[in-house]
Structure 1
Amino acid sequence: MNENIPVDEFKDINTKRFHIGSFQNEWLTRLDTANYSYQQKDQAAFDEEFAKEFGIAPETFDELKSICSVESLRSHTEDESPDTAAVPPDTTLQTLIQRKKKEDYKNSLNIDRTNRSHIYEEQLVGPSSPSHTLHVYTDTVLRELSFSYVCVCVCVLQESIALCKKPDDFADLVPEGEIILSIRVYQTAAFDRFNPVRPHATLQMLGSHYLTDLRDAVGCVSDLHVFGELSNTPNMAPDFVSKDHHKSAYFYFEHVFYNDMRFPECQDISATTIEWAKTRDFPSFSQAKMEDTKFSDLQVKVGYPYLYCHQGDCEHLVIITDIRCAHMEDCLDRKMYPLQTHKNLVHTNKCAVCNIYIARWLTTSDQLALSDPCLFCDKCFRMLHYDKKGRKLADFNAYVYVDPAVFS
């Protein structure tokens, strides 16, 4: 049996281990070039081939093509532009009747559709803020929010934006025969009992991407943490967030730790795990650099959970769910990748006082709070804990809080 062709190890769960690059070569060797070429066939030649394959006479095929065409479904003249959102009041179709009921119900609801990113931005730098504080932190968070908001838009509008998108520059065209990997990334979670967990994000990567491209595309709230107790200096701008200081990280695939060593500050944080494993009955592990390893260089199992670790102990499950050749209906603009196709929505943690704005502060040992710990927006935090001159009104510990929902 060819080891480069994946077969099930456990049915409907995961495959056996195989080499991605070798699997790609097997595809390109066995498939005809026309199967993965971006060149569209001539319509007349396609019709002739279609009719021949299904054993249909040319006259019958032309008749079917005319009857089943989209133009035959038109209920208005060509120069008329109908309102596709409007439902005729006298319709007898059950589908339209049910659609009308749902639209009327949705219109009767009073829903606040303000985007949480806009609320957070107003809270950070808007006119309601008492002062323009924490500028460095604010810029970082808003930059992450902007990235997250764009990713959500791409997810929602993938059919219209990314599907079949061709690059403006031919140099950015995804080459024919390139492979596309679908990768699910899960947030850190611990459960006492079984609970269905949705992936935090689903990304499409190219086989020519490096592991560092995936690492940079994964958004995690732990990268934005600010260290230190700030109750005495709430206006102090932090020098850095955690991802600016702790840059070390690794992926674990099939007994190999791939460490991110792009920066002088990076450390081999997998060494401790490898040394610990040597004292137990574990198979031997090896190491490689994340920035030198492409996805096509990996040996993996499709459907099998692997590990991404950063910030020392923040761990995410990574599952490769699909590997296939790119085709003409894919997004063919290399600059669009890593392409986010799904993002899980997380509930926002609001301020415990106003229950309107997103929490920005977390307090402990706080005599003025309703609970310990307690979350506050910036406005309520300052009004409750400080006088007009900025002096503390009670003893408490305050820490900058980053809501996990900023990435959803």
Structure 2
Amino acid sequence: MHRTRRKRVAKNTTAAPTPGTNPVLDTCNAVPSTASSATTKAANSSKSIPDASGLAPETPQASSSIQETPEDASPMMEVFGSHSTRFRVSSLGAAWQKVLSPSDLELREPPKGSDDMHLAQELGVSLKVLQELHSVCGEEAFICPAETDNGVSTIPEDVDLLTLRLRKQYLNMNPGANYQGGRLEAKIDNMKREMELQYFGQLPEDPQHAVQKGEVLLAINVYYPIIKPRHKDTKPHQVFHVLGCQRLMELRDAVSCIRDMQLSGEFSNTPNLAPDTTNKDLYKSAFFFIDGTFYNDMRYTQCRDLSKIIIEWAQMRDDALAKAGVKSMSDVTFGELTLKIGYPYLFCHQGNCEHIIIFKDIRLVNSGDCQDRSVYPLLINKHFFKCHKCYMCKMYTARWVTNEDELAPVDPCFFCDMCFRMLHYDSEGKKLARFLAFPFVDPGVFG
């Protein structure tokens, strides 16, 4: 009897996965199999209106008689708190444009006072009543007269809440966590806020570069290389805003990695002959791996198809990755992608420098976003590093790093250009000791 009821529910409705079950999911390095595609198609068979966050509600919906493809269906949460189901970016943007009114898609700032008028119409009250509601229900009305503005870091002595006592204990053990007095953490937070507000509502100088209303905007986290143990899983290296009309190669050019800026070679014998060309000038090949497709950078004659050797390896192992598609990133826009929000994908450059990228949000451009198309991909956040100072003078940024250095107190040791030459070479430019010298590019310079 219980089994019959389950079949009847599965036939009439499309419900979210039962807690505790193990849904079929594709991995980030394999093409989804037929079984996973069928599961995704069944999960996306219900059609719903996208909400403000870009994800459809998880409540069961009546299924239509015509099965939709996963690319055209509205995304839902495939794994709660992790990622959504697969969807096509352009299809979701078109669905939003059908639901929203023309005034919601308008990119120009509304006239002053129009927000209150619109809110009064929604509530069915007059402007006078709305102003009275503002005065009675505003933030000032909920402040107790005994309260004082001590700041978020000032905790009173007589507190009984366990969370506040633990917070106070943490601040006493870690004085640097207190954001008072212009500390480094507070300065970094201010710089991050300035980055986000730098292009707030900026209009283009050239009308041809204006962002079109109804354009899809994607927020992308680019994480540190997988080979870098610190922060590789928790803190994104950079956060970008990209438009649906932009091509993948534009994001590839915007991503800044220290591996691209490094200089290859050892130059202890010829420090004046250190080349000006960086690794990015020499090794231009790169690819994105998104939803079972390699998007290669083939714009230059030096570029190689990095996905070819991976697919050949997968074919020898009879792996599903052997069926991966191959396209050029210069021919594909973000609007043409099929992806999952919150799901990890891959960006690889320099042969083996692999970055996890996650599409963390999707929405339509509004009046508060930068409306200059030429500014995108827009860097809105990045992780900050302190610069490596010269070990000798403690003043200038390091330009050289030495190994097996008989004259240095530590190994490796960092030097600015002047201290490096004064310590290791005589007036004629000859080495004074045995050491290995490599040009050093400080990651803090990009912060």
Please name the residue that 2:296 is paired with: 259
| CA displacement at 1:192 relative to structure 2 | 7.4
Alignment of 1:265-276 (within 5 A): 265-276=302-313
Q: Secondary structure at the match of 1:291?
A: coil
| CA displacement at 1:45 relative to structure 2 | 6.6
Please name the residue that 2:96 is paired with: 27
| CA displacement at 1:298 relative to structure 2 | 0.7
The 1:307/1:67 distance shift into structure 2, 3 A limit, reads same
402, 418, 426: which is aligned to 1:379?
A: 418
Please name the residue that 2:395 is paired with: 356
The 1:383/1:51 distance shift into structure 2, 3 A limit, reads same
Q: Does 1:346 align with 2:346?
A: no
Equivalent pair of 1:154/1:161 in contact (CA under 8 Å):
no
Q: Does 1:7 align with 2:76?
A: yes
- Counterpart amino acid of 1:157? E
Distance 2:403 2:118 in 1: 73
Q: Does 1:234 align with 2:268?
A: no
Q: Secondary structure at the match of 1:157?
A: helix
Alignment of 1:61-76 (within 5 A): 61=130, 63-64=132-133
Q: TM-score with structure 1 length normalisation? A: 0.76
Equivalent pair of 1:180/1:205 in contact (CA under 8 Å):
yes
**Cα offsets for 1:315-341 (capped at 9, x unmatched):** 111111001011112111112211111
Q: Secondary structure at the match of 2:218?
A: strand
Please name the residue that 1:197 is paired with: 234
The 1:224/1:60 distance shift into structure 2, 3 A limit, reads closer
Q: TM-score with structure 2 length normalisation? A: 0.69
Unaligned ranges ≥5, structure 2 = 1-44, 48-69, 156-177
| CA displacement at 1:384 relative to structure 2 | 1.7
The 1:364/1:66 distance shift into structure 2, 3 A limit, reads closer
Distance 1:350 1:190 in 2: 24
Q: Secondary structure at the match of 1:309?
A: strand
- Counterpart amino acid of 1:95? D
The alignment-based identity, stated in percent, is 39
**Cα offsets for 1:120-169 (capped at 9, x unmatched):** xxxxxxxxxxxxxxxxxxxxxxxxxxxxxxxx998542465311222222
**Cα offsets for 1:180-231 (capped at 9, x unmatched):** 0000111114477998621011010000111111011111111122122211
* Higher RCO structure, 1 or 2 (CA under 8 Å, sep 6+): 1
398, 401, 405: which is aligned to 2:440?
A: 401
| CA displacement at 1:372 relative to structure 2 | 3.3
Equivalent pair of 2:267/2:274 in contact (CA under 8 Å):
no
| CA displacement at 1:104 relative to structure 2 | 13
The 1:238/1:318 distance shift into structure 2, 3 A limit, reads same
| CA displacement at 1:352 relative to structure 2 | 3.0
Distance 1:379 1:182 in 2: 42
Equivalent pair of 1:155/1:340 in contact (CA under 8 Å):
no
Please name the residue that 2:346 is paired with: 307
Q: Does 1:183 align with 2:220?
A: yes
The 1:187/1:272 distance shift into structure 2, 3 A limit, reads same
Equivalent pair of 2:224/2:231 in contact (CA under 8 Å):
no
Distance 1:97 1:259 in 2: 51
The 1:225/1:67 distance shift into structure 2, 3 A limit, reads same
319, 329, 337: which is aligned to 2:368?
A: 329
Q: Secondary structure at the match of 2:381?
A: strand
Which deviates more, 203-212 or 375-384?
Answer: 375-384
Equivalent pair of 1:220/1:407 in contact (CA under 8 Å):
no
- Counterpart amino acid of 1:37? E
Distance 1:315 1:195 in 2: 11
Please name the residue that 2:259 is paired with: 222
Distance 1:288 1:240 in 2: 29
| CA displacement at 1:363 relative to structure 2 | 1.8
| CA displacement at 1:237 relative to structure 2 | 4.5
Please name the residue that 1:94 is paired with: 148
- Counterpart amino acid of 2:427? K
The 1:404/1:28 distance shift into structure 2, 3 A limit, reads same
Please name the residue that 2:286 is paired with: 249
- Counterpart amino acid of 2:388? N
304, 316, 323: which is aligned to 1:279?
A: 316
Which deviates more, 24-33 or 304-313?
Answer: 24-33
Q: Secondary structure at the match of 1:214?
A: helix
Q: Secondary structure at the match of 1:50?
A: helix
Q: Does 1:106 align with 2:166?
A: no
- Counterpart amino acid of 2:384? L
Distance 1:303 1:10 in 2: 10
Distance 2:308 2:257 in 1: 23
Q: Does 1:55 align with 2:124?
A: yes
Which deviates more, 185-194 or 326-335?
Answer: 185-194
The 1:403/1:46 distance shift into structure 2, 3 A limit, reads closer
The 1:396/1:159 distance shift into structure 2, 3 A limit, reads closer
- Counterpart amino acid of 1:209? Q
Please name the residue that 2:107 is paired with: 38
**Cα offsets for 1:29-58 (capped at 9, x unmatched):** 232222212255566775454224223245
Distance 1:44 1:314 in 2: 52
| CA displacement at 1:178 relative to structure 2 | 0.1
Which deviates more, 54-63 or 261-270?
Answer: 54-63
* Count of aligned pairs between the two proteins: 350
**Cα offsets for 1:288-310 (capped at 9, x unmatched):** 00111100111111111111111
Equivalent pair of 2:223/2:233 in contact (CA under 8 Å):
no
Q: Secondary structure at the match of 2:236?
A: coil
Q: Secondary structure at the match of 1:362?
A: strand
The 1:223/1:195 distance shift into structure 2, 3 A limit, reads closer
